[in-house]
């Protein structure tokens, strides 16, 4: 059985969440509740804050459950 991975995009970045690794979720929903709210489904709202704020929170994740990647831009 593989690891569960969820992905959420706001157009600029894709947030990658691995729930099985998530042991410090209190950090997220206390620091950035407009993006990370365990009472809502889906739990991650990639449109709840600016990309910069989301990246800053993802980089604070102590368990490695959250990461992000930049989406490709389609110019033209």
- State how far the alpha carbon of 6 is from the alpha carbons of 18, 29, 64, 74, 76, in Å: 6, 17, 14, 23, 30
Q: Is 3.30.365.10 the CATH classification of the domain at 6-70?
A: no
Residues 6+ apart with CB under 8 A from 37: 29, 43, 45, 48
Task: Specify the pLDDT at position 10.
Answer: 97
Task: Specify the pLDDT at position 17.
Answer: 93
Instruction: Return the minimum-mean-pLDDT range out of 4-8, 33-37, 38-42.
Output: 38-42
Signed CA dihedral, 43, 64, 29, 8: sign only: negative
Mean pLDDT over each residue of the chain, to the nearest integer: 89
Query: pTM of this prediction?
Result: 0.84
Name beta bridge partners: 17: 6, 66
Phi, psi values for residue 25, rounded to 5°: -60, -20
Task: Specify the pLDDT at position 74.
Answer: 66
């Amino acid at each position: 059985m593989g690891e569960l991975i969820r992905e959420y995009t706001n157009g600029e970045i894709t947030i990658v969440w691995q729930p099985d690794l998530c042991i410090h979720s209190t950090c997220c929903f206390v620091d950035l509740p407009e993006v990370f709210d365990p009472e809502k489904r889906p739990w991650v709202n990639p449109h709840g804050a600016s990309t910069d704020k989301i990246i800053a929170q993802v980089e604070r994740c102590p368990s490695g459950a959250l990461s992000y990647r930049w989406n490709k831009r389609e110019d033209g």
